[in-house]
Amino acid sequence: MNALPRCVWLLLLFCASAGAAGWERVAAGVDYRHLQRDGLDAHVVRIDLHVRSLEVVATTTAERGLTVGDFARGRGAVVAINGDYFDTALNPFGLAMGDGTVWWQAAAGVRRQEVLGVGPGRARIFPRDAPLREPKRWMTGAVAGWPLVVENCSPVTSLPGSPHFTLAPHPRTAVGLSKDRRGLLLLVADGRREGVPGLTLPELAALLVEVGACTALNLDGGGSSALWLRDRIVNRPSDGFERKVANHLGVVEVRRKH
């Protein structure tokens, strides 16, 4: 076998493997996968945090209460999802930070939550047993959630919450990190429609491990679950329309000065 046919063969093999994996390149460092099987309808986006043209952003106080679509359009985001749980005044339950400024802290006595912190080229999920009370210096954004569903690359077996919350199927939104923390995973699973009930938290945890999460956090779900990709919402929010939510997480393409 001469060099040229071998190169062609290797290229075809690589393309076939990529196609089999089901990931679609959306932008440099951003890959998308649509999972549909056995009542599952889920959308996953994988972001390479080491790609310098990408920036992970979170809601500022001026953006509180926007739909995911409006937040994404305002930011020119490639991808965006909904964030934390919130009250009737659209105040999040946990720490919220955007563009380097903390604009919401959990009230005293409120259930402690896990927090996803993001900054240039990095992200970290802080567990509630070691709560993040003030942002780290490297952080530019933060979104809280509950509970942690994947830890040490395995599903958490003792998940908290009521049976209706934890063991009943619902639309879900979650965020995960790969083992090396280089890959950020954003996942939205649809539910509450015929043939697509949604996911229980154990099912969500198993799916997150399947797509490469070593640590993962459940965010607000139900009618809030929405995922923006390129120029539109790609999932089917269970309310039949986008819900206004307290905060969001997005990924934008930027040109950095050399």
Question: Domain locations in the chain?
Answer: 23-253
**Residue 137: what are its φ and ψ, rounded to 5°?**
-60, -30
pLDDT for the residue 77: 98
Here the tokens at position 101 are: 């400024």
69-104 per-position pLDDT tens digit: 999 999 999 999 999 999 999 999 999 999 999 999
Sheet strand arrangement including 79-82: 54-58, 248-253, 79-82, 227-229, 232-233
Encoding tokens for residue 155?
Answer: 């599903």
Q: Identify the band that residue 132 occupies on the pLDDT scale cut at 50, 70 and 90.
A: confident
- Which of 165, 148, 227 has the alpha carbon at shortest distance from 200? 165
| Confidence category of residue 109, pLDDT binned at 50, 70, 90 | low
Cβ neighbours, 10 Å, residue 178: 18
Q: Tens digit of pLDDT for each residue in 146-200?
A: 999 999 999 999 999 999 999 999 999 999 999 999 999 999 999 999 999 999 9
- Give the model confidence (pLDDT) of 20-78 as tens digits: 469 999 999 999 999 999 999 999 999 999 999 999 999 999 999 999 999 999 999 99
Instruction: Answer yes or no: are the C-beta atoms of 115 and 143 closer than 8 Å.
Output: yes
Q: Which two tokens stand for residue 176?
A: 């995960």
pLDDT of residue 133: 78
What tens digit of pLDDT does each residue of 203-219 get? 999 999 999 999 999 99
Q: What is the pLDDT of residue 256?
A: 62
The confidence score (pLDDT) of residue 16 equals 38
For the cut 50, the answer to whether the pLDDT of residue 17 exceeds it is no
Distances in Å between the alpha carbon of 79 and those of 127, 129, 203, 216, 233? 25, 30, 24, 18, 9
- pLDDT for the residue numbered 29: 98
Question: Is the confidence at residue 4, as pLDDT, over 60?
Answer: no
**Model confidence, pTM:** 0.90
pLDDT of res. 48: 98
SS3 5: helix
Which among 139, 140, 135, 157 has a CA at the least distance from the CA of 148? Answer: 157
Q: Which pLDDT score is estimated for 51?
A: 98
Alpha carbons 207 and 216: distance in angstroms, whole number: 11
Residue-level pLDDT at 18: 41
When comparing pLDDT for 12 and 167, which is higher? 167
- For residues 115 and 84, the answer to whether their CB atoms sit within 8 Å is no
Assigned token pair, 34: 């649509």
Residue 211's nearest CA partner among 42, 39, 7, 15 is 42
Spatial CA neighbour of 78 closest among 25, 142, 141, 139? 25
Residue 110: the pLDDT is 61
CA separation for the pair 246, 220 (Å, rounded): 10
Model confidence band, residue 130 (pLDDT cutoffs 50, 70, 90): confident
> What gap in Å lies between CA 167 and CA 118, rounded to an integer?
30
With b meaning 16 or more CB within 10 Å and e meaning fewer, what string describes 12-40?
A: eeeeeeeeeeebeebbebbbbbeeeeeeb
Residue 6 has pLDDT above 50, yes or no: no
Tokens 């639309």 map to which residue? 171
Asked if residues 234 and 187 have their Cβ atoms less than 8 Å apart, the reply is: no
